[in-house]
Chains A and B, each alone.
Chain A
Amino acid sequence: MLIFAIARIIPGDPARIALGPSATPEQVQTLRERLHLNESLPMQYGYFIGDLARGDLGISLYTNRPVTTDIATFLPATLELIIVAGIMMIGIGLPLGVLSARYRGSWIDNGIRLISLLGVSAPSFVWAVILMLLFAYFLPIFPIAGRISDTYFVQPVTGFQMIDTLLAGNLKAFGSAAWHIVLPAFALALAGIGQAARLTRSNMVETYEKPFIEMAHSYGFPESRIARRYAFRPSLIPSLTIIGLDFAAMLGNAFLVEAVFAWPGLSRYGVAVILRKDLNAIVGTVLVISALFLIVNIVVDLLIAFINPRIRLSQRAS
């Protein structure tokens, strides 16, 4: 509701902007009628909720298509990017943190810490630019932009190109899609990787100080086993909340990467509509993104509850 209120208060007549300067006053008026802009604010809100219940987010003034269609077209691209980046974040960040903690004080540790800090110190688009220049231009390993090479056409079933290409049985296309996603996802993930590594490291170092680790040492459990089994799980719990937040934050940062790599995702759409003050689209987009954010947070909470025996068992007991 907050979003709605803010959106409605902006200066400038949205209908006029949408129709362009050449529209006649009558046309503007008709559009205003359709969009209920002439009625009082509470009435507009009423229409909005009613439409929302029916799944209708209105028409985008920008693309002239229903906002829901727009979102459905662009969302999967962004989601795909975020998911791959998320996998990278956890798959690379956590092990780096564990290594860093296990060999704390050594070169490995200091090196990883430095890189992690660097990763966190620049916005995703800077990394996107640097990565693109390094690995796509100066060293042409990865493609420069786009989701998939133009030579392939894949029927969009789920909207996830990686899945769709597999469904279509076209392995070459799958390869192309995968190759295309590496750089952007990595650029997006870099900050998250740095954060995850640092967090894991600091939590594990803290855990290492705990008495039960000393006891494990006294029993002569091998160091690697201690790192993997004994120290890791208890350290994971405090990290999870923040990792979850980071993952959700990637939703916000996706914009920047999508811009550099020309990735046709929701964020680019979002930026475009914001610049054009396309009310319905703005509201719709922000709504969807906030909802996603919420869902991610809930999932993370559930995961935490699952991994932390204390919470899990106390709920079973009650």
Chain B
Amino acid sequence: MTAPTLRIEDLALKFRTYSGMVDVLHGISLHIQKGERVALVGESGSGKSVTARIVLGLLQSLRTARISGHVDFDGRDLMSMHDAERHRLRGTKMSMIFQDPTSSLNPVYTIGDQFREVLFRAEPGLKMAAARQKAVAALTDVAIGEPERVLDSYAYQLSGGMNQRVMIAMALANEPSLLIADEPGTALDVTVQAQTLRLMGELVEKHRTSVLFISHNLGVVREFADRVYVIFKGRIVEHAMTRDLFENPRHAYTRALMSAVPRITGGGIPEIDDASPDFLAPLIVHEGCAEPGAPV
């Protein structure tokens, strides 16, 4: 059996602040097999976003951050890697798409310019013409009708949905093994979001890319993910196959999440009124979901 694309073991994160050490992640573990789509679900502040950034190595440079634990990528230990090596993986073997597509693109450069930069990461010597061809192909893949025009436009000239597709195209252009999606489509309206997700699903299937899907939106997770981890205040509290989780939520927190009424604004973040001590109950793992190497 091949090594899982991503394996996180006992990852802990602390921040040094004026008032002492703050624990953000208390030792979480998760894994993603090749081609799998795994969701990490939780409210804001649960730690899901920082997890993603640690995988990419974006948090390590912060002097106030203390990270411990294991992160393995394609069998290689990320934590003990040299910065340079880790750096090489970014944009090539692992990439990320963000919440707000329009503001994630540089406003003063054209899409084409930025796409070229991305392509250069994988192929530094790529010629302009070849880069443009690749970009056009990638844009066509995400169902953009006039790729040439889009390449010559600026981010603010295109719609949110269009920019989202551009981001997906850029992220997948270098055929990464892992795609991290941080609340994708939260800034878009619901119908566009659904379309985009469907598109994303088709593409990752085609390229056999593993996906770490970070969200607070249960509906989206249900549509998209194979397996789900529920995270609450820096701890994984439940872990199950998607259907299993939705049909049979066992942890108190998961149940609270599912029955919470989503807010009309704010992208459907569920509002959980009272925090019950049950929420801190230990991890419940559903059948067939154990971490590789962990005792069943």
Contact = CB atoms under 8 A, between A and B. Distances in A.
B264 to A, nearest CB: 24
12 contacts: A212-B107, A215-B105, A217-B58, A218-B95, A218-B96, A219-B118, A219-B121, A220-B89, A220-B90, A309-B107, A309-B108, A310-B107
Contact of B96 (A215, A230, A308): A215
A68 B104 CA distance: 56
B246 interface: no
Contacts of B157: 313
Contact of B91 (A210, A221, A307): A221
B117 interface: yes
Given A214-B58, A310-B156, A313-B157, A220 B88 contact: yes
State which size class the interface on B falls in.
20 to 34
Contact of B98 (A211, A220, A221, A234): A211
A220 B103 contact: no
A203 to B, nearest CB: 13
Nearest to A308: B108
Given A230-B106, A310-B156, 15 more contacts: A211-B98, A211-B99, A211-B100, A211-B104, A212-B107, A214-B58, A214-B104, A215-B98, A216-B106, A218-B98, A219-B117, A220-B88, A220-B92, A234-B108, A309-B154
Interface in A229-256: 229-230, 233-234
A27 B117 CA distance: 79
A106 to B, nearest CB: 11
A233 B87 contact: no
Nearest to A229: B109
Given A214-B58, A309-B154, A221 B121 contact: yes
B56 interface: yes
Contacts of A309: 107-108, 154
B106 A212 contact: yes
B98 A214 contact: yes
A91 to B, nearest CB: 22
Contacts of B99: 211
